[in-house]
Every structure is written in structure tokens, then in C-alpha cells.
């Protein structure tokens, strides 16, 4: 797979995907605890499809959902990055920040550390004006990451995800936002 922007933090490297990540990515997507707030775990084929979609976004936009490695161990632990949603709602087109990490790596601050660097990339390199993040209300862990990043809950942007039926527990989404000005102010 192609080369492209990498992002480095104190403990982590965010990099483009390699062919050999496929198995570990499939294992991540097949874990019911990791996928609790999604419709289902992904099959190997669905996981591979997702990798291809991620790669296409890197080629199209110059950013995407990076593979995340722990630097010292050179160990793949999940992804974090920027994505452009392919569905339409009242605030699209938009850029979202997202993350998914292996369960045994939760509770170490890796998601927040990676995501802070992704916000910096989004505002400094990609020159975005705002970055959104959304999840279902039950996904408290993800919302805590958003809050640690200084993102602001913005109820006006909440939406019903068009890919789910009206009575689906996954339909209603809460939205957080950070603007370029808020990001700059947070950095002092
Ligand atoms: C959402 C998700 C990435 C959050 O992971 P996380 O490990 O809870 O988040 P962080 O990396 O910010 O870590 C914060 C935790 O690490 C702890 N921590 C330990 N060392 C730390 C450090 N050096 N810096 C910051 N926090 C640290 C914090 O105290 C906090 O612990 P707590 O959960 O007991 O409050 C993870 O739950 C996940 O991958 N979920 C499945 C996928 C998913 O739902 N994605 C989002 C879809 S919208």
C-alpha cells in the first residue's frame, strides 16, 4: 500500500496501512467488545473492504484513518484519523475524527494522544475550519475522548443516521465539534 503522511506523538506512530496489517485489523473488527456500538462485528471481507475505503480517502484527500503503532514495540494497536462521511445529513459534507483501538490497549490514553495529533494535522496541514465527531449516546468512552480533546457537544448538530431504521438503537447520534479558533485557543 502507498506511502503518505505520518504523524508522530510521544508514544505512537500514525502511519499509512501495510498489507501485513490486514489480519490484525480483521481481528480488531471481529471483537464484539470493540464493536459493541456498531451494528455488527466485521467479517474478514468487510474488514478488507474498509481498508480499501480508508486507502481511497488518503489518496483523495491527503488524510485518512491512520494505522496506529506503539513506537517502542512497533506494535499495531488500532486506528485514529480523519474521515469524510459517505452518507448525507444536515451538516455534510464534513470531516470527522474517529478512533478504534484494541481492547487490551484501552485505559492508557492512546486514543486521546493519537487524536490530539490528528487534530493538529487537520488544522495545520489539511487547513480545515472545523472537525466533528459523533457517536451514539451509549458510547460514553468515545464521548470522553471527545471531551478530553476540547471538543464541544453541539446538540444542534445531533442527527439520525440515515443508514439505520427509525427504531434502531444505533440511529440517534450525538455530535461534538471543535473549530479552528477553539483548537488554537486551547493550545494557548
Ligand atoms: C473509544 C476508545 C478509543 C476509548 O479508548 P480509551 O482507552 O478509553 O481512551 P483514551 O486513550 O483517551 O484513554 C483514557 C483512559 O486512559 C487513562 N490513562 C492512562 N494513562 C494515560 C495517559 N498517559 N494519558 C491519558 N490518559 C491515560 C485515563 O485515565 C482514562 O482511563 P478511564 O477510561 O479509566 O477513565 C475505545 O474505547 C475504543 O476503541 N472503543 C471501540 C471503538 C469505538 O467505539 N470507537 C468510537 C466510535 S464513535
Residue 1 pLDDT more than 60?
Answer: no
pLDDT tens digits for range 138-162? 999 999 999 999 999 999 999 999 9
Q: How many angstroms separate the alpha carbon of residue 148 from the centre of ligand 1?
A: 10
Q: Using a 6 Å cutoff on CB, does residue 145 contact ligand 1?
A: yes
- Read off the pLDDT of residues 91-133 as tens digits, 9 standing for 90 and up: 999 999 999 999 999 999 999 999 999 999 999 999 999 999 9
Supply the DSSP string of 103-162, one letter for each residue. Answer: GGGTTSSHHHHHHHHHHHIIIIIS--SEEEEEE-TT-HHHHHHHHHTT-EE-GGG-EE-T
State residue 165's pLDDT score. Answer: 79
CA dihedral 48, 120, 112, 79 (to 10 degrees): 10
Using a pLDDT cut of 90, give the percent of the chain over it: 93
Tell me the pTM.
0.97
Of all protein residues, the one whose alpha carbon is nearest to atom 35 of ligand 1 is: 107
Closest atom of ligand 1 to 34 CA is 41
Amino acid at each position: 500500500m502507498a506511502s503518505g503522511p505520518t504523524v508522530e506523538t510521544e508514544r505512537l506512530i500514525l502511519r499509512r496501512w501495510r498489507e501485513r496489517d490486514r489480519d490484525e485489523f480483521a481481528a480488531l473488527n471481529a471483537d464484539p467488545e470493540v464493536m459493541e456500538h456498531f451494528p455488527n462485528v466485521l467479517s474478514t471481507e468487510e474488514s478488507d473492504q474498509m481498508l480499501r475505503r480508508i486507502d481511497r480517502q488518503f489518496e483523495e484527500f491527503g488524510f485518512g484513518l491512520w494505522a496506529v503503532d506503539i513506537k517502542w514495540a512497533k506494535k499495531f494497536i488500532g486506528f485514529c484519523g480523519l474521515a469524510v462521511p459517505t452518507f448525507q445529513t444536515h451538516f455534510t459534507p464534513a470531516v470527522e475524527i474517529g478512533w478504534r483501538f484494541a481492547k487490551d490497549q484501552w485505559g492508557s490514553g492512546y486514543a486521546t494522544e493519537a487524536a490530539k495529533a490528528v487534530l493538529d494535522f487537520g488544522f495545520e496541514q489539511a487547513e480545515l475550519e472545523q472537525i466533528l465527531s459523533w457517536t451514539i449516546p451509549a458510547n460514553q468512552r468515545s464521548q470522553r475522548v471527545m471531551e478530553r480533546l476540547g471538543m464541544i457537544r453541539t446538540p444542534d448538530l445531533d442527527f439520525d443516521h440515515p443508514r439505520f431504521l427509525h427504531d434502531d438503537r444505533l440511529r440517534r447520534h450525538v455530535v461534538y465539534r471543535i473549530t479552528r479558533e477553539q483548537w488554537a485557543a486551547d493550545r494557548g
